[in-house]
Amino acid sequence: MKRKILAGNWKMNLDHLSGAALAKEICAGVDAARSACEVVLIPPFTTLPAVAGAVRGSAVKTGAQDLYCEDEGAYTGEIAGGMLRALGCAYVLVGHSERRHTIGESNALVTRKLRAALRNGLIPILCVGELLAERESRKAVDIVASQVRESCEGLEGEEFSRVVVAYEPVWAIGTGRTATPEDASDMHGVIRIIAKELFGTAAAEHLPILYGGSAKPETAPALLAEPEIDGLLVGGASLKASSFLGMMPR
């Protein structure tokens, strides 16, 4: 049995004071529940040190929302993987759809960021997902397959064994419209087929694939009941301890 992952992407919400308070509340809930699930908090960069302090001594892990593809140098405004590791970060999102579509990150940049994460000992959560128009024109499978293929091309098997993928249909993110468990599960199956093609059966079976897109306490149990769904990446519903903890698999 793979360990399920529940990750909360706080996006550009919560400063270091409110973030630390929420992290403490979540840690208390996670530690009391003694769940086998891996819980990850992903605050904004400036909130990260306070959250790292708040989770110290608990089972809860931290992650960052992005990193730069180089390890140091003249890259004003960017944050390197090593800086995140120094803060105790375990995870980092790579290629979140808000970065791909709002900020304009290309697949090529996402690939370089994925490598930077691995090089710096971070677990990358590689986000992939189709736009509504792509789903409606039946291109979703091709889009997601090519995002996975392009991002992971050339990785060694050992590197791929440290990757987590999050399937996040863009039309479901922040819209209140959750994918059905069947639709999410079908796409997770596609991602696993690509992983098998690139890295073999064992690697594909080992790969954790999270679902993200308006997941809430009401929709989480049915999503998590799908054998193909290894956990959830949660945005809006991760900003309150009660709703986030309400999605934790028991």
* Phi and psi torsions of 128, nearest 5°: -135, 160
Determine the angle formed by the axes of helices 107-119 and 140-152, rounding to 10 degrees: 40
Q: Closest CB to ligand PEP among 204 and 223?
A: 223
Active-site hit among 38, 96, 105, 130 = 96
Q: Which residue is nearest to ligand PEP (CB)?
A: 235
Q: Closest CB to ligand PEP among 111 and 214?
A: 214
- Rounded to the nearest 10°, the torsion over CA 105, 108, 114, 115 is -140
Q: How far is the CB of 77 from ligand PEP (least distance, A)?
A: 21
Active-site hit among 38, 105, 168, 188 = 168
Q: How far is the CB of 94 from ligand PEP (least distance, A)?
A: 12
Q: How far is the CB of 232 from ligand PEP (least distance, A)?
A: 8
What count of residues does the chain have?
250
* Phi and psi torsions of 210, nearest 5°: -95, 155
> Is 101 an active-site residue?
no
Question: Tokens 């995002």, residue?
Answer: 147
> Is 205 an active-site residue?
no
**Residue spans of alpha helices (H) in the chain:** 16-33, 48-55, 81-86, 97, 107-119, 132-136, 140-152, 157-160, 181-199, 201-206, 220-224, 241-245
How far apart CA 40 and CA 55 sit, in angstroms, is: 10
Q: Closest CB to ligand PEP among 11 and 115?
A: 11
Q: How far is the CB of 106 from ligand PEP (least distance, A)?
A: 19
Contact status, residue 80 vs residue 72, Cβ threshold 8 Å: yes
Q: How far is the CB of 97 from ligand PEP (least distance, A)?
A: 7
What are the beta bridge partners of residue 144? none
* Amino acid of residue 145: A
Name the site residues for ligand PEP (rule: CB under 6 A): 9, 11, 168, 173-174, 212-215, 233-237
What amino acid positions are annotated as catalytic residues?
96, 168
